[in-house]
Amino acid sequence: MENCIFCRIIKGEIPSTKVYEDEYVVAFKDIKPVTPVHVLVVPKTHIGSLEGLNDGNIENVVHIHRAIKKVAEITGISKDGYRVIVNCGEGAGQTVFHLHYHILGGTKLNERLI
Ligand code: 5GP
Ligand code: ZN
């Protein structure tokens, strides 16, 4: 996906501050953090959103969740807690159409979801 910002970050064409990487996923700091720790975890394969998951690519969910735990460990938020958010579709505020999981932490988060 040539015009996808996150595909370009994965390829190294756009700079990012990487926190973690393995064969399946990359995790990098959000450019506009909303909490002291705000990291995005993305699959290396282009999947537009949660709605783009299917029987052929669903294993990415396991790789992403494994990476989320690693990112929490690396950034030191495992113990205090963190929030994971996936915006799916324009109505939910998704602006980049490459599946990504927001990891938010490093501060006490409001108990309200919205
Ligand atoms: P969404 O609203 O789609 O769930 O989240 C997209 C996120 O990507 C936003 O929090 C936004 O700040 C982040 N973002 C957009 N462009 C870039 C970029 O070029 N680099 C990084 N690191 N984050 C980006
Ligand atoms: Zn992409």
**What are the tens digits of pLDDT across the range 20-61?**
999 999 999 999 999 999 999 999 999 999 999 999 999 999
Write out pLDDT tens, residues 59-96: 999 999 999 999 999 999 999 999 999 999 999 999 99
Ligand 2 centroid to Cα of residue 108, in Å, is: 32
Residues 6+ apart with CB under 8 A from 15: 9
pLDDT of amino acid 75: 98
For the CA of 87, the closest atom of ligand 1 is 4
CB 94 within 8 A of CB 4: no
- What is this structure's pTM? 0.98
Domain boundaries, the chain: 5-105
Closest residue to atom 21 of ligand 1, CA basis = 31
Question: What residues act catalytically?
Answer: 100
What are the tokens at 65? 């969740």
User: In CATH, which superfamily holds the domain spanning 5-105?
Assistant: HIT-like (3.30.428.10)
Assign 2 a pLDDT band (cuts: 50, 70, 90).
confident
What are the tokens at 32? 């506009």
Phi, psi (degrees; rounded to nearest 5) at 21: -150, 140
CA angle 79, 84, 88 (to 5 degrees): 175
